[in-house]
Homo-oligomer: A and B are copies of this chain.
Amino acid sequence: MNADNGDSSRHRFGPARRLRAQAKVLPEQARGHNRALVLQTLFHAGAMSRADLSRETGLTRVTISDLIGEFIADGIVVEKGIRSTTGPGKPPILVDIDRDGHRIVGIDLSGPGAFEGALLSLDGEVLERREVPRPSGGTAAYEAVRALAEELLSLSTVPVLGVGVGAPGIVRPDGLVLSSPNLDWNDFPLERLLSAALGLPVLVRNDANAAVLAEYTFGQARPDMLLVRIGRGVGAGLISDSQPLVGSRYAAGEIGHVVVGTDGGPRCACGKDGCLEAWLSASHLRARIAEVPEADADAVLAEAGTRLGVAIAPIVAALDLSEIVLSGPADLLDGTLIAAATRTLTARTLEGVFDDVVIRLTTQDDIVLRGAAVMVLSSQLGVS
């Protein structure tokens, strides 16, 4: 090895130099990109021939054959037989990701009463489901997660690509949980510990960020969206230009404790008045509805929707989003609340530009579990 190279410990110009973190690109990494491109195409479009893949990706048939050969050798892709063709020419051999030959384990730690887990197909379908009561204390929580993951792994008869975990709180991109008050974790290296314990790739992310991945991959897939999760608390995940947003403190989407409006509001657990969470969380909403006459329930929901609109209007305008997706109890969110939010958003943003922003309920069930599966797909296959 040449001592000149790879030795970044000495810097002639000192450590204070300000340079963008940027990496060289080797041909090998370009190969990785093209591998992901092929798998991505197969994943979304389904089984097709090598020639189809060539047309879809722009790579030549020769290169596709080479890549597919690698995938077949690795067991990632299988030949699915010959397609009965209509036109002339040699009939194509269909190839596809070996969807039946792999599984993913997804785990959702954001539920109020239990840790939920599932064994999923590569298409995000839940095949088996298990849950454990939420324990108290950080160590017990970790043990419960590990046991749940091992149980789900034991259910699979085929190889598992990896384990995805959606956790409440602030999670670093390397899967270290910086803070999760609900789970009593601080700077807890969940991803590293779990990966070592299970001997498999593990991905840990914030639950709202996992959810937005599920909506993006399995839903309508607009390249700019905000997904708002409404449960005990309120959190959000963002995708802009097809990329998940992380933020400088890994806290992007933490909008639950932003104060909404300039006329006060209900007291929040954090001590402030008028936080979005105090207006909109399912617990607060149900409590307030229980307090008022049944005829006024709609007014409570309309008020919550209006406040949601007030809170997201600056975000929609700043990011120029095309879609807001809500994930939470449909009986609360659908109808009055979304209508009020839409009206408010339109009334509070620039006319003629942001008029077509859609606010809607998610179509995804088990959104965090499926999002956890997308995390694994994205990390292991480059698919999203």
Which residues from chain A sit less than 8 Å from chain B, CB to CB? 2, 4-8, 10-13, 17-20, 22-27, 29-30, 33-34, 37, 40-41, 44-45, 48, 51-52, 54-61, 170, 221-224, 226, 236, 238, 240-243, 245-263, 270-272, 310-315, 317-322, 347-351, 353-354, 384
- A250 and chain B: residue at smallest CB distance: B320
Query: Quick one: which of B20, B223, B312 contacts A248, CB cutoff 8 A?
Result: B223
Pairwise interchain contact B13-A45, C-beta atoms closer than 8 A: yes
- A56 and chain B: residue at smallest CB distance: B19
Query: Quick one: which of B30, B258, B271 contacts A348, CB cutoff 8 A?
Result: B258
Pairwise interchain contact B22-A26, C-beta atoms closer than 8 A: no
- A60 and chain B: residue at smallest CB distance: B5
Number of copies of this kind of chain in the complex:
2
Pairwise interchain contact A18-B44, C-beta atoms closer than 8 A: yes
- A220 and chain B: residue at smallest CB distance: B18
Pairwise interchain contact B310-A312, C-beta atoms closer than 8 A: no
Report the Cα distance A17→B248, complex, angstroms: 35
Pairwise interchain contact B315-A315, C-beta atoms closer than 8 A: yes
Given A257-B350, A311-B314; A30-B26 close (CB under 8 Å): yes
Pairwise interchain contact A318-B55, C-beta atoms closer than 8 A: no
Inter-chain contacts of A48 with B (CB < 8 A): 12-13
Given A33-B25, A252-B320, A322-B249; A262-B263 close (CB under 8 Å): yes
Inter-chain contacts of A19 with B (CB < 8 A): 40-41, 44-45, 56
Report the Cα distance A313→B274, complex, angstroms: 13
Inter-chain contacts of A256 with B (CB < 8 A): 350
- A31 and chain B: residue at smallest CB distance: B25
Given contacts A17-B45, A257-B350, A258-B314, list 17 more A-B pairs with CB under 8 A.
A4-B51, A5-B54, A7-B55, A18-B44, A20-B44, A226-B318, A236-B318, A240-B247, A249-B322, A253-B318, A254-B317, A254-B350, A257-B349, A259-B348, A262-B263, A270-B351, A271-B351
